[in-house]
A and B are shown apart, each in its own frame.
Chain A
Amino acid sequence: MLAKRRADPLRMAPASALSIVKLRFSVGLLLVALVLSGCSALSNNTPVMLYLAMVIGKDDRISSDTQKDARQRVDLIVSSFQKLYPNVQVQLALYQRSQLISELRRRNAADLGPDLVLTDAQQAKDLLREGLTDPLPQTERNRVQTDPGLLKQVRLNDGRLAGQPLVMFPQIACFNTQVIQKPPKTLNELLEVGAAGARVGLPANMDEVLWTAGSLNALPALAAASRNQDLSAEDRDRITGWLTWLQQASNQRNITFFENQGQLTTLLGKRELDWISCTSDMLFRLRDQLGDDFGIAPLPNGPEAPAAPVHLLRVLALGRDSSSSQRSMAIALSDFVTNPLVQRNLSLLSMSFVPVNPDVMIPTKSSKTLAALEQALESSQVQIDNLSVIDQDGPLSRRMTNLLIPLVFGVSQPNTNTDELIQILNQGS
């Protein structure tokens, strides 16, 4: 009897183990069946989640403020798009520009890459070259609804489109109207504003301070050097003159050079600076921080030439890992954003960018902000050919920045720097 009693649990153990295995197997089968039935039930009304990777302002740090700012901007587009496709949701992930490529490599390696990437034109081309994004299908609609000049900026040499131009953020002057009632229209006026006590901030980054080369008429010489053309003595003098102006400006008590425009924006927002050069993608945040004291204006021109603002062209690139429904919605969204009505409404709502659709007229009379943006855009059209040949994002640009930093701190001299700058530019041809 005792032996029998002892044997009972032993006999129960394999039976219970078997039932657990059967249970697990059944649960597994049920899961597979659910997934398969789910796949077959997909229809047009199935919710579609689009993952959007977005680059925040150049060299900016991700913070609660930048996140709020970016979400506001994306919501402007998505809320309109959801009127057409209510089943679409967009999940946003913000990245620093310098980290986007490495992060996308990691995400793509796990097949978890985003469906859309919102970045600047230069980086969109780099992403496509590296195979981190897919080319945008060329449709009649994007040909008609996008400025041909802008489409050219996002096209690779082999003809593939790196992304859909979305908006243009012009480079402008941002200032505190409580300190500066009348914004400086020329470089001399800028120096006077500084001398009068206003705190002026300028970037030491080559592509962000290049606008001053336009005002001082040194841009044609820089462009010629980039094209590897022979420079006349006058061209050299103009480059030296530009570098000298930068150094002399830095010597002014109230004019300070900072690493990049991101820092300038932060300091203006905290009212620690009164006048800076900025791109209009920062207007949302600055408006929030400065309220009615916030003002914008075109960048100051020079005695002989207009400023050469470097605009930020935002494009939507297609991710690599999308499902068919995600891909079709991503393309639909990229088509949607160039729609004239959408571009106009977005421009009016955000008051921070210029549309990329050539058919959209900017209502400059009703808004000083839009008028300033339009004016900044017009002045750059004069310099666009010269600007397009100068490296603004690659290793040459970084080398030129490294040259400018000791110059503005008075460590190197403009004459010496002119030769070195020309040498660097020559390598870009």
Chain B
Amino acid sequence: MNQLFWEIIGWLGYLQRASIVFQLLLIIVLVMVWRWLRKHPRLAKVPKPLHLLIAPAGLGVISAFAKSLGWDAGLLTYLSLSWLGWSFLGLLDGLLQELMPAARVHELQSRLIKPIYLTTVVLMFINRLDNVNDLSVIELGQVFGISLTLGKLFTSLVVSYLLLVGTGPPAAGVSWLLQKLLGYSEGSRKAVELIIRYLVVGIGVTAVGFHIGLNGTALVAIAGGLSVGLGFGIKEVFSNFISGIWLLFEGSVRPGEVLMVDNDPCEVRKLGLRATLLWRDRDNAELLIPNQMFFTAQATSYTATDRLRRSEIRIGAAYRHDPRQVLQLLEETALNVPRVLKTPAPRALQVKYGDSAIEYSLRYWIADPMSNIGIVSEVNQAIWTAFKREGIEIPFPQQVNTIRDQPSLMSGRDAPEKPDKTRR
């Protein structure tokens, strides 16, 4: 570690070279000038692709000019090329968006392409200051009795990061292929994708451990450390992680499933290592619920065995209408709503003699549990139209009030005898 520190401090020695200092100052000045210039209204009108290339191309031209004068401009050239590459990544955004959704492009750029590019540029720069291969064998210390070098640590971190971030698309491809071959549901496909990712990450992390040189003793030591940690701080984390894996295999909480949370249907978007991400249609909210909640508490699912949901509408019709006519009309109306399933057929029931009306219940089935509210609205509209057409009244609450005489507060023996008004 000490050696690495002094190596890095030693790079400051390049500032003894006037050409390096001059180039660094020139770069700082050019960057400041560009930051001032780019706000100019005329430059703002320049198309984005051209706008991105102006500064690095300008730096390249300046470095070429400096070289033609016989000055040292290697650092300028290197930085202008690196900047140019970075700008091209910005242009790549547009091209990629034609192939995949913007969110996926952003994820790909920010998590994979740009970090890889930056790491490469930094490594190449360090390779100009020193030799990366030589730096990579610097010993940082002992871990579980194994000498850990900078190269091993770096490759382990890079491989682990790539495993976590970069295994998504291949896992999605394999699960898609398996879905085509075996014909399982969309939810299962997402579950298989996650299981493949966990497997690859698990195998990869083990391989990284072996690459570093961890042996059985080291693994036992890690396991010991983890068991102590499980007893204290990371118990919840571990519990959530295990719950997540269990739920995946069980299949009850998979991406695409619809669960009732606080009486609202929510769709499972993502089953993470710690928590499950659900989407609530009512207010477009995303809920992060720890995995162990599903593991320990009761949950209502609309998609455990099938995705059908039975919905119900209660409505009252005036007493003067024949219930058989109302029941038939309700069933026919429901059948005519496009998103109501024909099979199982809608069923209307006469459920109660109410104060103002006879109450009916219309029960029907829908294919998408998340669309319940929208379909309820459609069915209600259709009922209103049908009732109006057939002259069926939906009565307001009716109440007949009869005025009675105030009964005497005195008892019959004590009170003076009065003649009965009603009799008169």
Q: Real complex partners, A and B?
A: yes
Closest to B20 in A: A111
* B139/A64 in contact, CB under 8 A: yes
Contact across chains for B131 and A323 when beta carbons are under 8 A apart: no
A67 touching B28, Cβ below 8 Å:
no
> From residue B126, how far is it (CB to closest CB) to chain A in Å?
10
Most chain A beta-carbon neighbours within 10 Å: one of B17, B73, B77: B17
Residue contact B10 to A49, C-beta cutoff 8 Å: yes
Q: Which residues of B contact A64 (CB under 8 A)?
A: 137-139, 147, 149
Q: Mark B339-358, 1 if CB is under 8 A from A, else 0.
A: 00000000000000000000
Complex CA gap A41/B15 in Å reads 14
Distance in angstroms from B236 CB to nearest chain A CB is 41
Instruction: Collect the chain B residues with CB atoms within 8 Å of residue A322's CB.
Output: 17
Are B137 and A67 in contact, with the CB atoms below 8 A? yes
> Is B10 touching A89 in the complex (CB atoms < 8 A)?
yes
A74 contacts partner chain B, Cβ-Cβ < 8 Å: no
Q: Which residues of B contact A106 (CB under 8 A)?
A: 127-128
Say yes or no: A35 contacts B21, CB within 8 Å: yes
Cα distance, A109 to B81, chains bound together (Å): 13
The answer to whether B74 touches A111 (Cβ under 8 A) is yes
List which A37-76 residues lie within 8 A (CB) of chain B: 39, 47-49, 51, 53, 62-64, 66-67
CB-CB < 8 A to A323: which residues of B? 16-18
Contact status A321-B72, CB under 8 Å: yes
Within 8 Å of chain A (Cβ to Cβ): is B68? no
Residues of B within 8 A of A62 (CB): 131, 133-134, 137
A111 touches B23 (CB 8 A): yes
Report the minimum CB–CB distance from A4 to chain B (whole Å).
Answer: 28
CB contact list, B113-127 vs A, under 8 A: 125, 127
A48 to B130, CA, bound (A): 17
Report the minimal beta-carbon distance from B268 to chain A, rounded to whole angstroms: 44
Cβ-based interface call for B4 (8 A)? no
Q: Which has the most chain B C-beta neighbours within 10 Å: A31, A94, A106, A110?
A: A110
As a 0/1 sequence over residues 97 to 113 of chain A, the CB contacts with chain B under 8 angstroms (1 = contact) are 00000010011111110
With the chains together, A24 CA to B75 CA distance in Å? Answer: 24
Count of chain A residues with a beta carbon within 8 Å of a chain B beta carbon: 37
B128 and A93 contact, CB distance less than 8 A? no
Whether the pair B10, A103 counts as a contact (CB closer than 8 A) is no
> Is B198's CB within 8 Å of the partner chain A?
no
The answer to whether residues A111 and B19 also contact, given A28-B32, A89-B13, A103-B127 and a CB cut-off of 8 A, is yes
Q: In the assembled complex, which residues on chain B have CB atoms less than 8 Å from the CB atom of A32?
A: 25
State the Cβ distance, A52 to closest chain B Cβ, in Å. 11
* Interface contact B74-A95, CB-CB below 8 Å: no
A379 within 8 A of B: no
A28, B75: Cβ atoms closer than 8 Å = no
Find out whether the CB atom of B74 lies under 8 angstroms from the CB atom of A94.
no
> Of all chain B residues, which has the CB nearest A25?
B32
Nearest-neighbour CB distance to chain B for A12, whole angstroms, equals: 18
CB distance from B203 to the nearest CB of A (A): 27
Q: How far is the CA of A24 from the CA of B134 in the complex (A)?
A: 38
Q: Which residues of the other chain, B, contact A110 by a CB distance below 8 angstroms? A: 74-75, 77-78, 125, 128
Q: Which residues of B contact A53 (CB under 8 A)?
A: 131
CA distance A35 to B13 in the complex (A): 14
Q: Contacts of A24 on B, CB cut-off 8 Å?
A: 32
Q: How far is the CA of A112 from the CA of B21 in the complex (A)?
A: 12
What is the size category of the interface that chain B forms with chain A?
35 or more
A91 contacts partner chain B, Cβ-Cβ < 8 Å:
yes
For residues 289 through 342 of chain B, which have their beta carbon under 8 Å from a beta carbon of chain A?
A: none
- Pairwise interchain contact A49-B25, C-beta atoms closer than 8 A: no
Main secondary structure, interface of A, reads mixed
Interface string of A307-340 (1 = CB under 8 A from B): 0000000000000011101100000000000000
Q: Find chain A residues with CB under 8 A from B7 CB.
A: 91
Given the contacts A64-B139, A64-B149, A326-B17, A112 and B10 also touching, CB distance less than 8 Å: no
Q: A62-B137, A64-B139, A110-B128 are in contact. Are A49 and B13 (CB under 8 A)?
A: yes
Q: Is B88 in contact with chain A by the CB < 8 A criterion?
A: no
Q: Is the CB of A93 within 8 A of B137?
A: no
CA distance A47 to B16 in the complex (A): 9
Give the residues in chain A near B128, CB-CB below 8 Å: 106-107, 110, 112
Option from A91, A94, A96 in Cβ contact (under 8 Å) with B13: A91
| CB-contact partner of B131 in A66, A94, A111, under 8 A | A94
The reply to whether B25 and A63 form a contact with Cβ atoms under 8 Å apart is no
CB of B46 within 8 Å of the partner chain = no
Does B288 interact with chain A (Cβ within 8 Å)? no
Tell me if B230 counts as interface (CB < 8 A to partner A): no
Interface string of B136-155 (1 = CB under 8 A from A): 01110000000101000000
Chain A 4-41, CB-CB to B under 8 Å as 1, else 0, gives 00000000000000000100100010011001000100
Residues of chain B with a CB closer than 8 A to A47's CB: 13
Q: Tell me if B129 counts as interface (CB < 8 A to partner A).
A: yes
For B137, what are the chain A residues with a Cβ–Cβ distance below 8 Å? 62-64, 66-67
Are the C-beta atoms of B139 and A49 separated by less than 8 Å?
no
In the bound complex, what is the Cα–Cα distance between A49 and B134 (angstroms)?
18
B13 near A93 (CB under 8 angstroms)? no
Chain A residues within 8 Å of B129, by CB: 112
Instruction: Point out the residues of chain A lying under 8 angstroms from B133, CB to CB.
Output: 62, 94-96
- Nearest chain-A residue to B39 (Cβ)? A17
A319 to chain B, nearest CB (A): 11
Contact B75 A112 (CB under 8 A): yes
Bound CA–CA A253/B77 (angstroms): 58
Contact between B19 and A49 (Cβ–Cβ < 8 Å)? Answer: no
In the complex the two chains form, what is the Cα distance from A53 to B127 in whole Å? 12
Give residues in A with beta carbon < 8 Å to B. Answer: 21, 24, 28, 31-32, 35, 39, 47-49, 51, 53, 62-64, 66-67, 89, 91-96, 103, 106-112, 321-323, 325-326
Q: What 3 A-B pairs have minimum CB-CB distances, sorted nearest first?
A: A49-B13, A111-B74, A91-B10
- 14 inter-chain pairs at a CB distance below 8 angstroms, sorted by A residue, are A31-B28, A35-B21, A35-B25, A49-B12, A49-B13, A64-B138, A67-B138, A91-B7, A93-B134, A94-B134, A95-B134, A112-B20, A112-B74, A112-B75
- Other A-B pairs beyond A62-B131, A109-B74, 12, CB < 8 Å: A39-B21, A47-B13, A51-B14, A53-B131, A94-B134, A95-B134, A109-B78, A110-B75, A111-B23, A112-B75, A112-B128, A321-B19
